[in-house]
Structure 1
Amino acid sequence: MIRGVRGATTILENSEKEIICKTEELLTNMIEANNIVAEDVAQVLISVTADITACFPAKALRNLEGWDYVPVMCTKEIAVPNSLPSCIRIMMTVNTEVAQKNIQHIYLHDAVSLRPDLAKTLSVDN
């Protein structure tokens, strides 16, 4: 079965170090919470708000051991008025036998406000 695993986080400053650090934190939490192995991942889509320009957050995926061949793409979010700024969102397409209702979607930092109903115990403070 193919499932989407969602996640989002926010950054405190538009710097390469911050973008990579927060993206890697989000990816690691998504992977661990859902027992994901790279071989089961079809693709990873990463979107950013318009204020994130210092680097491609996809670079963070390449820091993870064994994820060299997973296709990853970055894109820009739609600029909706009053939407959450400095936000990185991830949609990971995964082959899994886990029921859709049991997928653990991860929302960190200020991104918890996007889906408080899904941001269970893994939310972390800034």
Structure 2
Amino acid sequence: MMVRGIRGAITVERNDENEILDATIELLNEIVAHNEVRPEDIASVFVTVTADLDAAFPARAIRQMQGWELVPLMCSLEISVPNGLPRCIRLMVLINTNKGQADIRHIYLNDAQKLRPDLVQSKG
């Protein structure tokens, strides 16, 4: 079994507590669904936010999800780069899996699709 990383990112419209928490749950749910992962498969989740998002800790949303209480979580600030994508939440979900690197589905939602258009899956 290997440890693999699943990347994901989502943007929000405002620096609002509920919007940040809801977006975090939406992103994590998409990562879990597209990669068929269970909380017990997770080694850890690293969460970053851009400096313009300080209304809530995104990890709080994950901690409140059923079955995720024991998953190690860490929040941090994303590096502030001029002209970087604003109001962005990023997740790095480390999973224990037998899947190959090419089998991992990375998820980019809302304006975060601009970060990795090469990895964005069409909905068609």
1:22-73, Cα deviation, whole Å (9 max, x unpaired)? 1100000000100111111110000000000001000111232111100001
CA distance, structure 2, for counterparts of residue 121 and residue 35 of structure 1: 19
TM-score of the superposed pair, with normalisation by structure 2: 0.96
**Root-mean-square deviation over aligned CA pairs:** 0.8
List structure 1 runs of 4+ shifted beyond 3 angstroms. Answer: none
Aligned residues: 122
Give, in angstroms, the shift of residue 102 of structure 1.
1.2
CA distance, structure 2, for counterparts of residue 113 and residue 76 of structure 1: 19
1:33 is matched with 34
Question: Which structure 2 residues correspond to residues 58-69 of structure 1 after superposition, within 5 A?
Answer: 58-69=59-70
AA aligned opposite 1:13: R
Unaligned runs of 5+ in 1: none
1:3 is matched with 4
CA distance, structure 1, for counterparts of residue 104 and residue 122 of structure 2: 14
- % identical aligned pairs: 51
TM-score of the superposed pair, with normalisation by structure 1: 0.94
1:24 is matched with 25
